[in-house]
Amino acid sequence: MNTKGAVKATTWRSAVAGIAVSVLERVRVWQESARNRRMLEKLDDHLLKDVGMTRSDLDRELSRPFWIGFPPRS
């Protein structure tokens, strides 16, 4: 019995599954980022100050492409 073909098929399937999981995770992160930006957009200046942002910070954040995440907190 030749098991080399079975090993190659399993490896190939594992690679494809890993890529699919990575893509789905990236899409989830993009959706979360877009949702967070929409929520921040609804806040007034007083609430923005509470979370450490100004209106200009928010405008800059909203102008960024969806695939770029929020800057890391310092």
Q: pTM value?
A: 0.66
Q: Where are the domains of the chain?
A: 4-62
Radius of gyration of the chain (CA): 21
pLDDT in tens, 33-68: 889 889 999 999 999 999 999 999 999 988 988 777
Q: Are 37 and 71 in contact (CB under 8 A)?
A: no
